[in-house]
Amino acid sequence: MCMWRRLTALLIVICAPAAARAQRLPEGPLTAARGTVTVGGDITVTAGSRDDIAFFNYTDYEHNALRMVRLSLSGMWRPATRLAFLTELRSEDAQRVIPYALYVRVRPWSARAFDIQAGRVPPVFGAFARRSYGADNPLIGYPLAYQYLTSIRPDAVPFTADDLLAMRARGWRANYPVGVTAPGPGVPLVSAYRWDTGVQARATSARVEGAIAVTMGTLSNPRVDDDNRGRQVSGRVAWKPVVGLVLGASASRGQFLTATLENGLAALTTRQVHAQRALGLDAEYSRDYWIVRGEVIDSRWNLPDLSAPHIDAPLGARSAFVETRYRFTPRLFAAARADRLTFSSIRGQRLFAGQPTPWDAPVTRVEAGGGIYLQRNLTLRAVVQRNWRDAGRVKNRTFVSGQLSYWF
Amino acid sequence: MGRTLWPLFVVVGLLRSLALPGAPSPVTGAIRGRVDVRAAAAPPEGRPDPGGLGMAAPREPLDRRRSVVYLETAPRAAFEVNEERRVRMTQQHERFVPHVLAIVAGTWVDFPNNDRTYHNVFSLSKAKDFNLGRYAAGKSKAVRFERPGIVRVFCDIHSHMSAFILVFAHRYFAVTDDEGRYRLDGIPPGSYTVLVWNETVRGDPPRRTVTIGESGGDVDADFSIR
């Protein structure tokens, strides 16, 4: 109840000034200062079945992607042609407001398509996480690689392979004996719900675009403040051979574990670099009324090898999804996504009879649905999502979800 | 039935022929003037793009001063438009050119893509909803606008691209020029209500009543939009 009261108050705050002036909700971004300041917004109300047993769609311990109220305000101040300040403030389920993005964008040379951004910046890795507006997602749920919580944590590690295997399908609330011992959420392969902090540069031409970033956190655990004095280097190259087709390749490497944990591990292990490495391929093709997108991501985490049974190789996770959207009429569209997340195998001792077993439970997800544009910036959509998992209290579950999304 | 009603058809046909455009019109007049719009030219409103990795290309200012002046009710002859008309609205530098287009119902509008990127022209307006899908540079698709009304045109890929197509049932309308001037020609004597549409006007459009005398001639009607 309290959440809804706060939500109503927030909606009034957002909409009242514009409504008072124009007597209707804005159809596009608000501008001020002779067009140098633009403010946009995105209000997404998603209602659906609960997921507090299987936790297939939890983005962290508290938020369910299929049952969420998300408000976001984005703003850009462009005081000069080659200088801009950007921000996006978000609130999920009417809780605290988080600066999702907050950075400065500079184009040093007016004649060259080369830009530098510094602050809390969008990820250069992959393609999905930069689609910041809800309307850019053809469905309601997120791809597994960008949302599903694996059992790995940056602040706690398993002592043995059995400790890790015991947490299979418990990424929403994993706990380990080394580091922070309290249960807490694990991390996805790439977090689409938080952006990292650092510096990035992009150069682009008509056919090729390249971007590189140096940031505080990792793909799995983007940070505002540095927690391990390590840096992540990530980059992406995109090629547009013909209009409508984009092919991208990404890579990243960053120190994953917190400094507090690393300090505690110094006496237990000699391996000093506990990093996340990831490679990604993405593609998008669109034509007429179709859009087809797909991504493959391979992520590897080095965790300390503390005791037998050993975790003596990087823990791998691989995700692949393909999604499509088709617009039947100016107002009606349908979309679908097929998604798979798998994990490399390790050997325990107590668990699984010492047989090679994926360190987390592989997940398959299929989501399909459709929507209607009530007006250009007001969309109503509904989806059905089916999940299968190889372990856990709930191994498969179907969710139905509806969403009303308004942007300006 | 055909036998009993055929004399009536002949009489109606004769009466209609008196109003055809080709028939001699003894006297007509013109309404001319200027629409003064105070709205400043501003860059097209793009949504902030915090997910972007760099600067968007600079956009040319959008001239919101362009207005459409039209008669609320037109002489009967105005509705007798027989020839098929065809005009174009180009997609160029991520803009629709022209930004405001006024046409008679039944006109075809071509939407050529002159940019290097995809565009997806669509409208959800009551007067005409359509979606041309994504098509590349050098390609063009066309839409016929049959119903009078205001059609808001957008690009599904570039949210800052928008345009207006005003579809009229008659031919007594004009889009103002760079100076805000307009001229409506060939208006038979009578009293008319002249209205002005401008995208910056919210609510009722400015209007004036103008009379064309029996001897025809030009009548001035200026408007001011604050």
How many cross-chain Cβ pairs, A to B, lie less than 8 Å apart? 114
Nearest-neighbour CA in chain B from A108: distance (Å): 11
Mean pLDDT, chain A, rounded, equals 91
Task: State the average pLDDT over residues A96-117.
Answer: 95
- Compute CA distances A34 → A78, A185, B25, whole Å: 10, 46, 50
| Contacts with A131 from chain B: Cβ below 8 Å | 51
Cβ distance A288 to B133 less than 8 Å, yes or no, reads: yes
The whole-angstrom distance between B41's CA and the closest CA on chain A is 9
Q: Which fold has domain B82-169?
A: Immunoglobulin-like (2.60.40)
B54–A107: do the CB atoms touch at under 8 Å? yes
Q: Give the chain A residue whose CA is nearest to the CA of B57.
A: A113
In DSSP notation, A46-96 reads EEE---TTT-SSBSSSS-BTTB-EEEEEEEEEEEETTEEEEEEEEEETT--
A16-72 pLDDT, tens digit per residue, is 444 444 446 677 889 888 888 999 999 999 999 899 888 999 987 678 999 999 999
The single-letter code of the amino acid at B112 is P
| Residue A110 three-state SS | coil
Other CB atoms within a 10 A radius of the CB of residue A9 amount to: 11
Say whether A202 and B159 touch across the interface (CB within 8 A). Answer: no
Domain ranges of chain A: 2-407
Digit-coded pLDDT (tens) for B161-197: 999 999 999 999 999 999 999 999 999 999 999 999 9
* Other C-beta atoms lying within 10 Å of the C-beta of residue B176: 23
Average pLDDT, integer, range A330-359: 96
Chain A residues whose CB is inside 8 A of the B47 CB are: 28-29, 38, 40, 74, 133, 407
Which CATH number, 3.40.640.10, 3.40.50.1980, 1.10.260.40, 2.40.160.10, labels domain A2-407?
A: 2.40.160.10
Question: How many whole angstroms separate alpha carbon B39 and alpha carbon A148?
Answer: 50
Residue A372's pLDDT band, with cuts at 50, 70 and 90, is: very high
Exposure string for A159-197, b = 16+ CB within 10 A, e = fewer? ebbbbbbbbbbbbbbbbbebbbeeebbbbbbbbbbbbbb
Q: Which residue has the tokens 């300040």?
A: A85
Which pLDDT tens digit goes with each residue over A229-287?
Answer: 889 999 999 999 999 999 999 999 999 999 999 998 988 877 668 999 999 999 999 99
- Chain A CB contacts of B53 under 8 Å are 115, 117, 122, 124, 130, 200, 202, 209, 211
Percent with pLDDT over 90 in chain A:
79
Burial (CB count within 10 angstroms: exposed 0-12, middle 13-18, buried 19+), residue B10: exposed
pLDDT along chain B (226 residues), means of 10: 41 41 68 89 76 85 87 74 85 94 96 94 96 93 96 93 95 94 94 95 92 93 92
Structural element, H or E, at residue B12 = helix B2-18
User: In the predicted model, is pLDDT for residue A333 greater than 80?
Assistant: yes
Q: pTM of the entire structure?
A: 0.86
Optimal mutation site among A76, A137, A284, A325, interface B, most CBs of chain B within 10 A: A76
> Using CA atoms, how far apart are residues B62 and B162, in angstroms rounded to an integer?
10
Of chain A residues 65-124, which have a CB less than 8 A from chain B? 74-76, 81-82, 84, 86-88, 100-101, 103, 105, 107, 113-115, 117, 122, 124
Domain boundaries, chain B: 82-169
Q: What is the pLDDT of residue B212?
A: 94
